[in-house]
Amino acid sequence: MDTPYGKVDADALQTLQETFNTLAILRAVDQLDAIRARCEPDGLRDDLLRLHGMAHTVINGASLSYVTNGPTLMEQFDAVMEELDDWIAMLRQTQRALLPLEKLRPEFDNWLGDNSE
């Protein structure tokens, strides 16, 4: 079946029109925003750079790149791991929420293994 956004499987479309709530996609955006709001825009990136600098000093004997009165190496490690766990959980939840849209792929495309028309 043709749609404004390309071909989709007509039977799957009918099923999803009855069962899929597109608000799931907006909830995923809200979850992403909530995680990003917990820290500055580059929070995880900055946390990883701080962890690298600390580990580089401790493991490789490099000069100090961060103040020593901040978090310890292990506190920084824990913070990064917790943040990564939250991102992974959110991304997996988003993936599960979006997966029903895969059913819209026309059977012909599935048989070809690509998006040829």
pLDDT attached to residue 108: 60
CA distance 111 to 117: 12
CA distance 14 to 16: 6
Q: Say which DSSP state 16 is in.
A: H
Segment 67-86, tens digit of pLDDT? 899 999 999 999 999 989 98
The SS3 of residue 22 is coil
pLDDT attached to residue 38: 74
Q: Indicate if the pLDDT at residue 87 is higher than 50.
A: yes
Residues 13 and 1 sit within 8 Å (Cβ to Cβ) = yes
Nearest to 16 by CA among 96, 102, 111, 95: 102
Kindly report the length of the chain: 117
pLDDT attached to residue 117: 45
- pTM score: 0.73
Q: Indicate if the pLDDT at residue 19 is higher than 90.
A: yes
Segment 38-72, tens digit of pLDDT? 766 578 888 999 999 999 999 999 999 888 999 99
Mean pLDDT of the chain: 87
Please report which confidence band the pLDDT of residue 107 belongs to, taking 50, 70 and 90 as the band edges: confident
**In sequence order, which residues have a C-beta less than 8 Å from that of residue 27 and are 6 or more positions away?**
97
Domains of the chain, residue spans: 2-104
Q: Indicate if the pLDDT at residue 109 is higher than 70.
A: no
Angle between helices 43-60 and 73-98 (to 10 degrees): 140
